[in-house]
Amino acid sequence: MVGVAKLVVMDPKGRLVSGGSSAKTGIMQKSIKESTKMLATLVRRAKSQPPITLTCNLLHISQLISTHPLHHNFSTTTRAPPPSAAAKMEAVGVLMMCPMNNYLEQELDKRFKLFRYWTQPKQREFLAQHAEAIRAVVGNATAGASAEVIDALPKLEIVSSFSVGLDKIDLIKCKEKGIRVTNTPDVLTEDVADLAIGLMLAVLRRICECDKYVRSGAWKFGDFKLTTKFSGKRVGIIGLGRIGLAIAKRAEAFDCPISYYSRSEKPNTNYKYYGNLIELASNCDILVVACALTPETTHIVNREVIDALGPKGVLINIGRGPHVDEPELVSALVEGRLGGAGLDVFEKEPEVPEQLFGLDNVVLLPHVGSGTIETRKAMADLVLGNLEAHFANKPLLTPVV
């Protein structure tokens, strides 16, 4: 067989090794005949050298090698060249629902045929026009794949969410239609937990208010307003999943007793379980929302729970805005029936109830739970990895459906 063998020779540390007088970098293109000759040389050498691995991109050569009497120091692997995968994927239409990350957008643009939903003035017509081409949707916490969008895209095969929350995706419809769904778990767990603790400290110790006070130039001695100690406060967590557990681990280092409410008690934890959210709220100082948003958990923090938490209690929400009955929360804070709140999410982002702006016992953040350079890149890579795996018929990295 005529062909050119591309031989990559590496030492045990993965460094390229030159295998012949003409090779400088260890990557050689040789005719079959020359390859065989070179192989013989390498095999001889291997007797006196540390193990050498030869990766060959032509199956034929690999088979040839395997029949050659090899020294035990010489091993081979076959790596098939990538199929012209790049060319194939560029034809795949991917619909991105809203701006979420520049790097992700650029990479999607490079690898696929990218449609940007938010740039379209007439979205229904736009979908109809490109329905045949769109095989994937990339969404996030703001916009995902609703029933309408799914119905409008008959060729849709996969929804890859730039989030761990799935509340913006009609999962039932996806299951019915055999549409795959992926999200970004684990990579953002630490960031969200870090922010939950940061919010607790910011609210209890009035850090944002202190900063505002100094910036206003108002600092003179005599301001002895006391704040509230964080260490040792009782922390109650709604939802003891990945994020809930990470929050618990951090709060424990501050000697905070941990308790939780969940659909069912978790084995293997020492934390106190409450089967009733009102009871949990009555027995903690800081209540954190860390569960998934579903129809069952919508408005799970309602007036009763807020009352149970009480005028010295603090609510931290790093879940989803709709977990909390927002008008009830606002009136409780304004009337002093709730001690304070740290909120990263709201019912109608980016709108935030203006009555909160004048309160010094709240901290308000624009949904930045996973908002670090490191984590957003990891999330983007997961979205890209899942899409590429799907279109290469490989197992998905983080499938949900």
Partner 1 sequence: MAAAADEIQPSETPPLLLVHRLPRFKLSFFPFLQTEYTVLDPLADPPDPSFPDLSKSARIMLCVGPTPVGSDELDRYPAVECVVGSSAGLNHIDLAACRRRGVRVTSAGDAFSDDVADYAVGLAIDVLRRVSAADRFVRAGSWPVQKEYLLGSKVSGKRVGIVGLGSIGSRVAKRFEAFGCTIAYNSRSIKSHVTYTYYANVVDLASNTDILIVCCALTNETYHVINKDVMTALGKTGIIVNVGRGALIDENELVEFLVRGEIGGAGLDVFEHEPNVPKELLTLDSVVLSPHKAVFTPESFAALEKVVLGNIQAFFSNKPLLTEI
Query: Interface residues with partner 1 (CB under 8 A)?
Result: 99, 190-191, 193-195, 197-199, 201-202, 205, 207-208, 210-215, 217, 219-232, 249-250, 252-255, 349-352, 357, 363-366, 368, 371-376
When the beta carbons of 56 and 248 are compared against partner 1, the nearer one is 248
* Cα separations in angstroms, 268 against 163, 258, 261, 273: 27, 14, 15, 12
Those residues whose C-beta lies under 8 Å from the C-beta of residue 283, and which sit 6 or more positions away, are 234, 236, 259, 274
φ and ψ at residue 5, rounded to 5 degrees? -90, 135
CB of 217 to partner 1, least distance (A): 7
Residue 67 corresponds to which tokens in the numbers above? 């029949």
Catalytic residue among 157, 279, 349, 388: 349
Catalytic residue among 180, 320, 323, 390: 320
| Element (DSSP H or E) covering residue 183 | none
The verdict on whether 367 is a catalytic residue reads yes
CB of 379 to partner 1, least distance (A): 11
The verdict on whether 72 is a catalytic residue reads no
CB of 348 to partner 1, least distance (A): 10
When the beta carbons of 298 and 372 are compared against partner 1, the nearer one is 372
CB of 158 to partner 1, least distance (A): 25
CB of 65 to partner 1, least distance (A): 43
Cα angle 303, 305, 311; round to 5: 85
Buried b (16+ CB within 10 A) or exposed e, 6-45: bbbbbeeeeeebebbeebeebebebebeebeebbeebbee
When the beta carbons of 34 and 252 are compared against partner 1, the nearer one is 252
**Do you find a cis peptide bond into 350, omega within 30 degrees of 0?**
yes
Chain centroid to CA 174: how far? 20
When the beta carbons of 152 and 248 are compared against partner 1, the nearer one is 248
CB of 326 to partner 1, least distance (A): 15
List the 27-31 sheet strands across, edge first: 27-31, 4-10, 52-56, 74-78
When the beta carbons of 109 and 211 are compared against partner 1, the nearer one is 211
When the beta carbons of 39 and 365 are compared against partner 1, the nearer one is 365
- Partnered with residue 29 across adjacent β-strands are 6
* Torsion region of 206: left, alpha or beta (phi above 0 gives left; psi -120 to 50 gives alpha): left
Catalytic residue among 323, 367, 376, 390: 367
Rounded distance, CA 6 to CA 80, Å? 11
Query: Is-contact 345 322, C-beta < 8 A?
Result: no
- The three-class DSSP label of residue 362 is strand
Q: Which residues are catalytic?
A: 320, 349, 367
